[in-house]
Structure 1
Amino acid sequence: MEVQPEPGFVIKTHNKKNVEGFTEGLKIFINICHSGKVPAPPLATDEEIRKAIEADDNATYKVPLSLSVPRTDLDKAGKTCIVFDACVNTNAIIKATKDGDYKLFLIELALEWVEEQYKLELSREFSLPKMRAKGKLVKHFIRRPERPSISELDSSVLPPTKSKTTTTTKKTLPKPDYEIRKEPKGVENATYILIDIKLPDIENMNDAMVDIEKDKVIFKIPKKYALDLKLPILIDTEEGTAEFNRETRILTLKLTIL
């Protein structure tokens, strides 16, 4: 799948050791960019996200990231530098603009990815230039998981059998209670639509699946709940957040109105 990222913010740092193709002291720019087509981070509680931010050994929260190949550019002084694009889901960028610790988490994630892929040692004395992207962002190609193939049996080699009609009953999962409201309240042209999905017997969002379309939300927890919710207004599928409150057992979706 081809993805054209949108600009987010830029990290400026330097390489600390000589590696083939990367000299010591070489300036490195990493564009933290985003797209709604990149897989979104899993639904998680604030506690689970905090564990990841603090590098807790028991952390399970992860942010999918697509890293471009390096390309050369010039810095302000006209010297050669290297640029990478680290593309994450738009929801991660939205959260980073509101949470400084989460932004640092994304920065460290991008630095570690570059180090791991290219055997570099990047300085943690970085800066954030006042630009949304260094150079032109390149397209990313994200591999979709292949569907399992279906094997066909050759009926000519099978013994004849009597036809038998079987009926399967598909169990309908219960629909969770929910509430819809607009924000800000009392404003004719609201900016967001908020959906509170009540899940009194659910402790975490590990198995939850959310699919956002322009006019509906599909939510499912296997063997527990299923909700196919038609929305009263069109929303932007590229923006939105999902937060699960473990105390109230409520999942809140905050979606931007078109």
Structure 2
Amino acid sequence: METDTSLLSSELEQQREDELYQELLLKTLEKMPSDGNPPTVMNKFIRPQPGMCVKTLSLTDMQKVFVNICQSPEVPPPPPLSEEKLVELLDSDDPTEYKVPMSLGEAHAEMDNSSNSCTVYDIVINGAFFQKCQKNPLFQQFLIAVSLEGLENKYSMELSRDIKILKNRKFMGSLTEQNIRTKSKPVIQEIDSKEMQVQPLQATMPQFCLLVEPPVGDPEYLIAEIQLPGVSSSRSLVLDLGEDRLLLNARPSLFHLDIYFPFMVDQENSSAQYSTKTQVLPQTLSVAHML
């Protein structure tokens, strides 16, 4: 039986082209400034400004817990959120799917007004978003909910939702500096709403799933799998990964996906590799913790 070497050469050439494009595709996951210099990744100390203090209980030991919700312009703002969208989120099964960037400080012991020991946590959010929440009771309710949820996820604790906002003080104890991670430039730049509407109408949103690993405790990875039936080559994919957003287009106008993550991700330690056999794009996204 004779072998047609021309067919083998064609297949090998196709494989080499796919591998080359795969490398180019994965480079979109890296942060590459236009000047060609390596990206700047550093930690920065910030001194949070007072905001408001919320009193609650730890349901594990029924001890008083105070949450200082502080503000700083150094913390990035969350994506735009209208009051109509917020109402939809509050009515949904998981209102915390809208992510508010925040820095969660370690617990510190303080004395309350009765000279009793209590536990205090400091949370720092974007200053402009905090002011917006102060002016709108609905946004304030949402901010408190996601703050308590963030503390519960990070410290594997359970807090009572029977809360009290202290009227005569903006924080309990003392506010200390926090160390947050900063980056030089976002991978995905701000997109004008008119540009978003240019996307052809025939492009459809593919099926996808997003899993958190580990499922309990502090998240380390987000595992995303995107189903792309009919996409025979990775060369037709355009993938952009930001700190909290994934944008995928499959040309020519086959699929379009634009989603926000529930956590900040570290682009430099994330990876993706398209399988032409299963026509699935699996991605392992490393969760970035703001310490």
The two structures have a TM-score, normalised by structure 1, of: 0.52
Q: Distance in 1 between matches of 2:89 and 2:122?
A: 22
- Determine if the alignment matches structure 1 residue 140 to structure 2 residue 140: no
Partner residue, 1:31: 68
1:4 paired residue number: 47
Residues 91-130 of structure 1 show CA distances to partners (whole Å, capped at 9, x for unaligned) of 2211111111110111011111111222221111111112
| One-letter identity of the residue aligned with 1:30 | V
Matches within 5 A, 1:16-165: 16-17=59-60, 24-55=61-92, 61-130=98-167, 131-145=169-183
Long gaps (5+) in structure 1 = 18-23, 148-175, 177-198, 208-258
Aligned length: 149
Paired AA for residue 73 in structure 1: E
Deviations along 1:133-171, one digit per CA (max 9) or x if unpaired, are 111111111112488xxxxxxxxxxxxxxxxxxxxxxxx
Contact 1:68/1:85, CA 8 A, preserved across alignment = yes
What is the deviation of 1:51? 3.2
- Judge conservation of contact 1:5–1:33 (CA < 8 Å) in 2: yes
Q: Tell me if structure 1 keeps the 8 A contact 2:51–2:171.
A: yes
Alpha-carbon deviation of 1:57?
5.2
Structure 2 matches for 1:175-194, cutoff 5 A? none
Richer in helix (by share):
2
Q: What RMSD, in angstroms, separates the aligned Cα atoms of the two structures? A: 2.7
Aligned mates of 2:96, 2:178 — CA distance in 1: 28
Question: What percentage of aligned pairs have identical amino acids?
Answer: 32
**8 Å contact kept, 2:96–2:146:** no
- Matched residue, 1:154: none
**Residues 76 and 126 in structure 2, CA contact (< 8 A), matched pair in contact too:** yes
Looking at structure 2, the residues matched to 121 and 200 of structure 1 have their Cα atoms a distance apart, in angstroms, of 43
The amino acid of 1:85's aligned partner reads D
What residue number does 1:14 align with?
A: 57
